[in-house]
Amino acid sequence: MNWDRIEGNWKQVKGKMLEQWGKLTDDDLDVVAGRREQLAGKIQERYGCAKDEAERQVAAWERTVSDDWFDPPGSGSRRPH
């Protein structure tokens, strides 16, 4: 998955990140705001792991990101009544 797509849909992927890294908070992810290096830094901080380990975790998670996590273009958030 292209990180630009993750960054551009940050609000949609935050929940998936919290499932993966339960020690991160909503505030942490608000600070990260889609920046990959910041995410690795927060993982390093919260989990006490080395920088390369945090980056490995981010890369592994990134490979699990699926297109179906994102709303199709033009769908918006409208739901039928």
Contacts of residue 20, Cβ cutoff 8 Å, sequence gap at least 6: 61
Question: pTM of the full predicted structure?
Answer: 0.80
Burial (CB count <10 Å: 0-12, 13-18, 19+), residue 29: buried
Residue 6 or residue 70, greater confidence:
6
Structural domains for the chain: 3-64 (1.10.1470.10)
CA dihedral (17, 62, 2, 52) positive or negative: positive
Per residue in 30-76, pLDDT (tens digit) is 999 999 999 999 999 999 999 999 999 999 999 998 877 776 655 55
